[in-house]
Amino acid sequence: MMSLQNTLLIDHLLLPSASNQLGLYRHGHYRRGVTFLVKSEQVHAASDSPCHDDPGRRQLLAIGATLAPWLFLPFKASTSFAAENKKGFLSVTDKKDGYSFLYPFGWQEVVIEGQDKVFKDVIEPLESVSVNMIPTGKQDIRDLGSPREVAETLMKKVLVPPSQKSKLIEASEHDVEGKAYYTFEFTAQARNFTRHALTSICIGNGKFYTLTTGANERRWDKMKDRLHTVVDSFQIFNV
């Protein structure tokens, strides 16, 4: 079986930091119903230098929902399709890229360079959902390794900044209409906060899909049912 580090090749590693996301509220203010264009910066860490890691691992694309430093610019209204689906949730269907998911009513869409879709709570900055994709020649997520192996690699190299301490809580596999998905739960501990997150990954349409959602640990008990609804709703379809 091919390991994950030998499969997904990209040109650079974006390693976003939730602590920078929190800094957003010192430099700007959200208004509900307004969409912003957000540009991310590339962050280089010595521990992740190409000299210190094997090729595939250092080349994973950052797909995590902990967001990068923010630059605010006015942006036109969102063009994402959203409609009420389940009580308290809205649905998004991307017919071009072949995926759909639910997100809590009241979250707003923001545009992040390098992310395909991002919705977040404008009051609680760690409550968000993001979707990203990178090309792959693999046909099945199981070709990359076990759920735990893939989860640990993504946490270490993609979803959690090197300045934060990560912990994998659970990793599992499930099947939807004959397609395998890996789902895992983890925490990322920074100096001033801990983010509790859920991620679902799948392969289809020649792409490696990742959805990540989460919340501040202090709000996990309140948000966990909604976040599980989000991650469990994620599905890809042929395009």
How far apart are the C-alpha atoms of 212 and 144, rounded to whole Å?
19
Domain count, the chain: 1
pLDDT at 208: 97
How far apart are the C-alpha atoms of 56 and 70, rounded to whole Å?
28
Residue 151, domain CATH: 3.40.1000.10
Give percent of the chain above pLDDT 70: 64
> How would residue 34 be classed by pLDDT, with cut points 50, 70 and 90?
very low
Residue 140 in this model has a pLDDT that exceeds 70? yes
pLDDT at 215: 98
- Boundaries of domain holding 47: 4-236
Chain centre distance of CA 189: 17
Q: Are 107 and 119 in contact (CB under 8 A)?
A: yes
- Helix, strand, or coil (residue 86): coil
Instruction: Show the CA angle centred on residue 227, arms to residues 222 and 231, nearest 5°.
Output: 165
Q: Please write the tens of the pLDDT for every residue from 143-154.
A: 999 999 999 999
Instruction: Show the CA angle centred on residue 44, arms to residues 56 and 109, nearest 5°.
Output: 90
The predicted model scores a pTM of 0.69
